[in-house]
C-alpha cells in the first residue's frame, strides 16, 4: 500500500521491531505497522495475526509462526526471544508481529527485556488492542458519562494458564463498573463464579465478543448470571472478550447491532 507522504522511519538492519497488528481487520493496522511490514526481512508472527496482514510483507521475507498450532504446545517464550536475537544478529530487519498491542497481555515486555539484555536495538510500535477496537466494532462503548468513568482490563489466564488468584476481585468489582476480560473462554464458569462471589449481580449486562473485527465476528449479549450457559449454547469460541457492565446495554441503543453491517476487512494492503 502506498503510505501517505509522511516521513516514516526506515527499518535498520539488525533491529527488532515489536509491532502490534491490531485485533484482526487489516484496516486497523497502523501506518507504522504497514511501514514496518514493507521493510521487514523476517516476520515472526503469532496465532492472532491473519494471512491478509502477512501478505503485506515483501516477497522473499521469511515468515515464521510462533504460536500454538495443531494442538502442539506453543514454543517457549524464551525460544521466541532467542530466535529474535539470532535473526537480528544475522543483520536482518526482524518484525515481531503480535495481535492487538504488544504490551497488552501479549508478552511483549518479556521480549523487550530479553532484547535489552542481549544488547539488540529495538522499538515498539503499538497496536489497537482487542479490548478497545474489538468492542468498538461490537458497538459497545468502553466508557459513557452516565455509566462509568473507569474501566478495567484483566486476563482470564495467568502465566500458568489459571484464573489469576492474586487479584483482589472484591476491590476490583467495587472500584470498576466495567470489566473487560481477555482470554475469557477457557475459564468462563470460574470467572463468572469469582465475579458473583465478589459481589456482582447476576443481572449485570454482559457480552462475549469473538473474532472481533474479523468476518467471523460474533457478539452475544447476555447477563453475568447467564453468560457461561449462553456462551456454550451459542458455541462462542476463542479468541473472545468478555465484557461486563452497564455499557453493554448501550449497544442496542447505539445500534451498531449487526456486525455484518460493519465494513468488510480491507483486502490485502499490498506492498507498494
Is residue 58 a contact point for ligand SAH (CB under 6 A)? no
User: Which residues share a beta bridge with 63?
Assistant: 43
Interface residue with ligand SAH among 37, 163, 214, 243 (CB under 6 A) is 214
Nearest Cα neighbor of 12 from 35, 30, 28, 34 is 35
Nearer to ligand SAH, 41 or 220 (CB): 220
Residues in contact with 194: Cβ distance below 8 Å, sequence separation at least 6, in sequence order: 163, 169
72 is catalytic: no
Interface residue with ligand SAH among 41, 52, 101, 111 (CB under 6 A) is 101
Is residue 134 a contact point for ligand SAH (CB under 6 A)? yes
Nearer to ligand SAH, 69 or 89 (CB): 69
Within 21-40, the residues that bind ligand SAH by CB under 6 A are 23-24
Strands (E), 100-139: 122-125
Interface residue with ligand SAH among 48, 53, 179, 195 (CB under 6 A) is 48
CA distance 176 to 159: 24
Interface residue with ligand SAH among 38, 213, 221, 222 (CB under 6 A) is 213
How many residues of this chain bind ligand SAH (CB under 6 A)? Answer: 26
The three cell numbers of residue 151 are: 474501566
101 is catalytic: no
User: Which residues share a beta bridge with 123?
Assistant: 17
Active-site entry in 92, 101, 183, 217: 183
User: Which residues share a beta bridge with 242?
Assistant: 181, 208
CA distance 105 to 189: 21
68 is catalytic: yes
CA distance 103 to 101: 6
- Pick the piece of the chain touching ligand SAH (CB under 6 A) from 66-74, 114-122, 159-167, 232-240: 232-240
Is 196:224 a contact under the CB 8 Å cutoff?
yes
Return phi, psi of residue 17, to 5°.
-110, 125
Residue 234 Cβ vs ligand SAH, minimum distance, rounded to whole Å = 15
Residues binding ligand SAH (CB under 6 A): 23-24, 48, 98-101, 104-106, 129-130, 134, 182-184, 209-214, 238-241
- What residues act catalytically? 46, 68, 183
Amino acid at each position: 500500500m502506498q503510505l501517505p507522504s509522511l516521513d516514516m522511519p526506515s527499518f535498520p538492519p539488525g533491529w527488532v521491531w515489536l509491532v502490534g497488528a491490531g485485533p484482526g481487520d487489516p484496516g486497523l493496522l497502523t501506518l507504522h505497522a504497514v511501514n514496518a511490514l514493507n521493510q521487514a526481512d523476517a516476520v515472526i508472527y503469532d496465532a492472532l495475526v491473519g494471512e491478509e496482514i502477512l501478505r503485506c510483507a515483501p516477497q522473499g521475507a521469511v515468515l515464521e509462526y510462533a504460536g500454538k498450532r495443531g494442538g502442539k504446545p506453543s514454543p517457549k517464550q524464551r525460544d521466541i526471544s532467542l530466535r529474535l536475537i539470532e535473526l537480528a544478529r544475522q543483520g536482518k530487519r526482524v518484525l515481531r508481529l503480535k495481535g492487538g498491542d504488544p504490551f497488552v497481555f501479549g508478552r511483549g515486555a518479556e521480549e523487550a527485556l530479553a532484547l535489552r539484555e542481549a544488547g539488540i536495538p529495538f522499538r515498539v510500535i503499538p497496536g489497537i488492542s482487542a479490548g478497545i477496537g474489538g468492542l468498538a466494532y461490537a458497538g459497545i462503548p468502553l466508557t459513557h458519562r452516565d455509566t462509568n468513568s473507569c474501566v478495567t482490563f484483566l486476563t482470564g489466564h495467568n502465566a500458568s494458564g489459571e484464573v489469576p488468584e492474586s487479584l483482589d476481585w472484591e476491590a476490583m468489582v467495587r472500584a470498576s463498573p466495567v470489566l473487560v476480560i481477555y482470554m475469557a473462554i477457557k475459564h468462563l464458569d470460574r470467572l463468572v463464579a469469582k465475579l458473583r462471589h465478589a459481589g456482582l449481580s447476576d443481572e449485570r449486562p454482559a457480552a462475549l465478543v469473538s473474532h472481533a473485527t474479523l468476518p467471523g465476528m460474533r457478539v452475544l449479549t447476555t447477563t453475568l448470571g447467564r453468560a457461561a450457559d449462553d456462551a456454550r449454547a451459542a458455541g462462542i469460541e476463542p479468541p473472545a472478550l468478555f465484557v461486563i457492565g452497564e455499557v453493554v446495554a448501550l449497544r442496542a441503543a447505539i445500534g451498531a447491532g449487526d456486525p455484518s453491517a460493519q465494513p468488510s476487512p480491507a483486502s490485502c494492503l499490498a506492498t507498494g
